[in-house]
């Protein structure tokens, strides 16, 4: 029997909508990476059909979706096909052109909105957004200056010694430590701006960090909002290596401050969907002691992957619920968890030759949950999967996580 018949049962997009032809609703996603793949899995569990727009014919999300539209993200024909197939559309990464989301929103439900994605695409707009809602969120970003022209560079180099040492970051397309250079002097700032191509940048003051954390918030079309407990993150070379998600990973007062700030940041722009807000924890003895907001991602986030195995609803379940207008369940974490990021380096030996990790040894350990993303080629620094460790208590989770990290040669072992 065809899955287009009335015999197929799926949930509608928004409770008061039905498909006149009796077909289950279709949810669309721009981008075919691992976040799209996990979104597709979550949508399909609720009976939705899915469509992925992604040019790569072997993309992780495209390979598991009902429909794979193999065009560029701004291709008019592909976008028209996506809009024709889907009742609601989201994105799995923030660098999809915001104008594409705006155009799709003229005909379909799109979450998050183009305006919210546009803020996250540009560090200058993002810093301005954090500054504007600081009165509500109670949390500021690090001191910074905008550099878009040679004249602005000269002024900042001459007059903003208070921002040095600092980090010069490109306003757009920077991620996982890319597009940023640490600078200690005005001369180094000038050289760094040239090295980055003279593009729009922000110079951000380096602060004495004691930790990094993030908060995942889900917000519906009706303003309903839920959030996960904040998690503590450890980065190595600018890439997330370890996420600690359990009671005591952060001081309770600090965790509550981060959660409330993230909810305020989402509400300030009427956000719909899943939003991750990342924070720095700054040494209390500094002039900027406490919590400092770093950046936001308008999508599920690497640091929230532990929710797939440690919570009653994952970040991807909430992404589906939010965009489809379903009630948002309050997330409840039933097990302490540690998430270990798996980069392509795990599959490479010291000479760069491919090897197969010792998965039998890893999976023989209690509470290990392996998630591989279906990528054929392992490259150094490429996100290939993650491994969640859950258990009855924090001590046992840490013990297993250390053994896994040692078996696979993962970075961040000393931070577990």
Q: Kindly state whether residues 262 and 353 are assigned to the same domain.
A: yes
The CATH number for 408's domain is: 3.30.470.20
Task: Indicate whether 134 belongs to any domain.
Answer: no
Residue 74 is encoded by which pair of tokens?
Answer: 């701004």
Residue 199 is encoded by which pair of tokens?
Answer: 């593009």
Quick: pLDDT tens for 288-320.
568 999 999 999 999 999 999 999 999 999 999
Task: Indicate whether 137 belongs to any domain.
Answer: no
Q: Is 250 annotated as contributing to ligand binding?
A: no
Alpha-carbon distance of 342 to 323, in angstroms, equals 29
Confirm if 127 and 141 have CB atoms less than 8 A apart.
yes
Q: Is 235 annotated as contributing to ligand binding?
A: yes
Q: Is 102 annotated as contributing to ligand binding?
A: no
Q: What percent of the chain has pLDDT above 90?
A: 85
The residue out of 91, 110, 129 marking a domain boundary is 110
Closest CA to 221 of 265, 271, 264, 277: 271
Q: Kindly state whether residues 244 and 305 are assigned to the same domain.
A: yes
Task: Indicate whether 121 belongs to any domain.
Answer: no
Number of domains in the chain: 3
The residue out of 62, 93, 110 marking a domain boundary is 110
Q: What are phi and psi of 53, to 5 degrees?
A: -105, 115
Q: Kindly state whether residues 94 and 169 are assigned to the same domain.
A: no
The CATH number for 150's domain is: 3.30.1490.20
**Cα Rg of the chain (Å, integer):** 22
Q: Kindly state whether residues 166 and 231 are assigned to the same domain.
A: no
Q: Is 220 annotated as contributing to ligand binding?
A: no
Quick: pLDDT tens for 30-60.
999 999 999 999 999 999 999 999 999 999 9
Q: Is 206 annotated as contributing to ligand binding?
A: yes
Task: Indicate whether 313 belongs to any domain.
Answer: yes
- The pLDDT of residue 1 is above 80: no
Q: Is 127 annotated as contributing to ligand binding?
A: no
Q: Is 374 annotated as contributing to ligand binding?
A: no
Mean pLDDT of the chain: 92
Q: Is 212 annotated as contributing to ligand binding?
A: yes
Domain containing 148: what range?
A: 143-205
Q: Is 398 annotated as contributing to ligand binding?
A: no
The residue out of 90, 110, 130 marking a domain boundary is 110
Dihedral sign from CA coordinates of 325, 331, 334, 338: positive
Q: Is 294 annotated as contributing to ligand binding?
A: yes
Alpha-carbon distance of 148 to 127, in angstroms, equals 15
Q: Is 195 annotated as contributing to ligand binding?
A: no
pLDDT at 413 (0 to 100): 80
Please state, in angstroms and as integers, the Cα–Cα distance from residue 175 to each residue in 160, 180, 183, following that order.
25, 9, 18
Quick: pLDDT tens for 227-244.
999 999 999 988 999 999
Quick: pLDDT tens for 258-268.
999 999 999 99
57: Cβ–Cβ under 8 A, 6 or more apart, which residues?
A: 68, 70
Residue found under tokens 């920077």: 174
Q: Kindly state whether residues 235 and 346 are assigned to the same domain.
A: yes
Q: Is 129 annotated as contributing to ligand binding?
A: no
pLDDT at 283 (0 to 100): 85
Q: What is the DSSP letter of 398?
A: H
Q: Kindly state whether residues 299 and 169 are assigned to the same domain.
A: no
Edge-first strand listing for the sheet containing 88-91 = 67-69, 49-53, 26-30, 88-91, 109-110
Q: Kindly state whether residues 281 and 398 are assigned to the same domain.
A: yes
Q: What are phi and psi of 358, to 5 degrees?
A: -80, 70
Quick: pLDDT tens for 19-34.
555 567 999 999 999 9
Q: Kindly state whether residues 315 and 394 are assigned to the same domain.
A: yes
pLDDT at 8 (0 to 100): 56
373-379 average pLDDT score: 93
Burial 326-342 (b: 16+ CB within 10 A, else e): bebeebebebbbbbbbb
The CATH number for 90's domain is: 3.40.50.20
300: Cβ–Cβ under 8 A, 6 or more apart, which residues?
A: 35, 38, 39, 92, 216, 274, 276, 315, 316, 319
Quick: pLDDT tens for 170-217.
999 776 667 899 999 999 999 999 999 999 999 999 999 999 999 999
pLDDT at 5 (0 to 100): 41
Q: Kindly state whether residues 264 and 390 are assigned to the same domain.
A: yes
pLDDT at 238 (0 to 100): 86
Task: Indicate whether 120 belongs to any domain.
Answer: no
Alpha-carbon distance of 400 to 395, in angstroms, equals 9
Q: Kindly state whether residues 407 and 272 are assigned to the same domain.
A: yes
Q: Is 177 annotated as contributing to ligand binding?
A: yes
Task: Indicate whether 127 belongs to any domain.
Answer: no
Q: Kindly state whether residues 49 and 188 are assigned to the same domain.
A: no
Alpha-carbon distance of 26 to 19, in angstroms, equals 10
SS3 track for 180-245: EEEECCHHHHHHHHHHCCCCCEEEEECCCEEEEEEEEEEECCCCCEEECCCEEEEEECCEEEEEEE
Q: Kindly state whether residues 270 and 319 are assigned to the same domain.
A: yes
Q: Is 175 annotated as contributing to ligand binding?
A: yes
393: Cβ–Cβ under 8 A, 6 or more apart, which residues?
A: 336
Task: Indicate whether 275 belongs to any domain.
Answer: yes
Dihedral sign from CA coordinates of 391, 394, 395, 401: positive
């Amino acid at each position: 029997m065809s899955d287009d018949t009335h015999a197929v049962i799926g949930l509608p997009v928004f409770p008061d909508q039905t498909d006149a032809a009796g077909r289950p609703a279709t949810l669309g996603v721009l981008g075919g990476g691992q976040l799209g793949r996990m979104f597709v899995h979550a949508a399909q569990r609720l009976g939705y059909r899915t469509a992925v727009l992604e040019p790569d014919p072997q993309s992780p999300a495209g390979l598991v979706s009902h429909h794979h539209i193999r065009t560029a993200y701004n291709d008019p024909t592909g976008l028209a096909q996506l809009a024709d197939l889907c009742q609601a559309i989201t994105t799995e990464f923030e660098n999809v052109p915001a104008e594409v989301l705006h155009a799709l929103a003229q005909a379909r439900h799109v979450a998050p909105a183009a305006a919210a994605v546009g803020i996250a695409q540009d560090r200058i707009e993002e810093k301005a957004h954090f500054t504007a809602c600081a009165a509500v969120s109670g949390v500021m970003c690090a001191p910074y200056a905008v550099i878009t022209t040679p004249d602005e560079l000269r002024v900042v180099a001459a007059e903003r010694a208070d921002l040095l040492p600092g980090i010069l970051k490109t306003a757009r397309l920077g991620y996982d430590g890319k597009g940023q250079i640490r600078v200690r002097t005005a001369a180094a700032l000038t050289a760094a701006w040239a090295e980055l191509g003279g593009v729009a940048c922000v110079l951000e003051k380096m602060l004495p960090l004691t930790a990094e954390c993030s908060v995942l918030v889900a917000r519906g079309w009706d303003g309903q909002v839920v959030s996960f407990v904040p998690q503590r993150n450890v980065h190595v070379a600018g890439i997330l290596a370890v996420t600690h998600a359990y009671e005591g990973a952060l001081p309770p007062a600090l965790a509550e401050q981060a959660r409330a700030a993230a909810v305020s940041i989402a509400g300030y722009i009427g956000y719909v969907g899943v939003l991750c807000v990342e924070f720095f924890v700054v040494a209390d003895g500094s002039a900027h002691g406490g919590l400092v907001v770093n950046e936001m991602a308008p999508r599920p986030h690497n640091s929230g992957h532990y929710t797939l195995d440690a919570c009653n609803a994952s970040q991807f379940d909430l992404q589906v619920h939010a965009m489809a207008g379903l009630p948002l369940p309050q997330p409840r974490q039933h097990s302490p968890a540690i998430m270990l990021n798996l980069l392509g380096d795990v599959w490479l030996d010291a000479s760069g030759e491919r090897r197969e990790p010792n998965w039998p040894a890893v999976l023989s350990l209690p509470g290990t949950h392996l998630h591989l993303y279906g990528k054929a080629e392992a490259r150094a620094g490429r996100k290939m999967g993650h491994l969640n460790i859950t258990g009855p208590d924090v001590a046992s989770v840490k013990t297993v996580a250390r053994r896994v990290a040692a078996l696979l040669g993962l970075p961040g072992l000393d931070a577990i």
